[in-house]
């Protein structure tokens, strides 16, 4: 078999477009899942016992079912009643999925901040809420960085799953190019390399962040 990367070059702008869509999805999902995960964790630990159970159920539900099924459920299932654009469904599905995983991390790291920190803050005159905001959450966040980084690397790879519901990210974009060029192997090699490079940069970024915050733990 001979390799012919000509079609890959021809359709590279299409791949770049897919990369752009994937990037957009990843950025929004990262923001949504980290902020949302933190909010879910804080509510389920501190705010309200009655609200905490549905939230824990939500975490459990999203962690025990496959992402693809969740996307199908949101897109085709809910599609029976409301029509949501595929990219929105993709962002929501991926966002909730990783929100659950991130909340799980935050719950562990918030609980790992010692009671002495809470007492020291209260003894200065900070209230319960201010203590959570200024003392507990920032420390928990710093402790969460390694695991959050791992989750975000997984999430970036999982943006490829959105091709199943027709979000025009990298894999989906290549499928069109493959269907007209009949060169799947070359395209998949290039895509794999692209993901690999993105991952290397993310891992470098994560390591840098961990180094930058290590002394604050």
Binding site for another protein (CB under 8 A): 114, 116-117, 119-128, 130, 134-135, 138-139, 142, 215-217
8 Å CB contact between 35 and 186 = no
Instruction: List phi, psi (to 5°) of 14.
Output: -65, -45
Question: What is the 3-state composition of the chain as percent helix, strand, coil, each rounded to the nearest 5?
Answer: 90, 0, 10
Residues 6+ apart with CB under 8 A from 103: 36, 37, 38, 40, 41, 44, 55, 59
Which CB atom, from 66 or from 138, has the smaller least distance to another protein?
A: 138
For the bound state, the minimum distance from the C-beta of residue 151 to another protein, rounded and expressed in Å, comes to 21
Min. distance of Cβ 136 from another protein in angstroms?
10
Instruction: Return phi, psi of residue 83, to 5°.
Output: -95, 110
**Nearest CB to another protein, comparing residues 49 and 217:** 217
What is the nearest approach in angstroms of another protein to the Cβ of residue 183? 52
Residue 116 or 196 with smaller CB distance to another protein = 116
> Of 179 and 216, which CB lies nearer to another protein in the complex structure?
216
| Whole-number Å distance between alpha carbons of 159 and 152 | 11
Q: Taking the complex as a whole, how short is the minimal distance between the CB of residue 208 and another protein, in angstroms?
A: 18
The closest alpha carbon to 155, from 116, 84, 206, 215, belongs to 206
The secondary structure of 77-102 as a DSSP string is IGGGT----HHHHHHHHHHHHHHHHH
CB of 14: closest distance to another protein in angstroms?
A: 45
CB of 61 or CB of 124, closer to another protein: 124
């Amino acid at each position: 078999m001979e390799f012919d990367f000509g079609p890959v070059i021809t359709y590279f702008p299409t791949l770049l477009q897919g990369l752009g869509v994937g990037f957009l999805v990843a950025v929004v999902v990262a923001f949504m899942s980290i902020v949302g995960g933190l909010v879910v964790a804080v509510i389920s630990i501190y705010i309200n016992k009655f609200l905490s159970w549905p939230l824990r159920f939500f975490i459990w539900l999203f962690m025990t079912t496959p992402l693809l099924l969740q996307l199908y459920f949101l897109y085709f299932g809910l599609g029976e009643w409301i029509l949501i654009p595929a990219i929105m469904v993709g962002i929501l599905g991926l966002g909730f999925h990783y929100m659950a995983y991130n909340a799980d991390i935050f719950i562990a790291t918030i609980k790992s901040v010692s009671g002495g920190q809470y007492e020291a803050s209260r003894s200065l005159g900070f209230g319960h809420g201010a203590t959570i905001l200024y003392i507990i959450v920032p420390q928990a966040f710093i402790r969460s960085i390694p695991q959050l980084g791992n989750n975000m690397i997984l999430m970036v790879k999982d943006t490829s799953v959105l091709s199943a519901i027709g979000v025009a990210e990298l894999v989906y974009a290549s499928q069109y190019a493959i269907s007209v060029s009949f060169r799947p192997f070359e395209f998949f090699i290039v895509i794999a390399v692209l993901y690999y490079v993105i991952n290397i940069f993310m891992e470098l970024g994560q390591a840098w962040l961990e180094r930058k915050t290590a002394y604050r733990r």
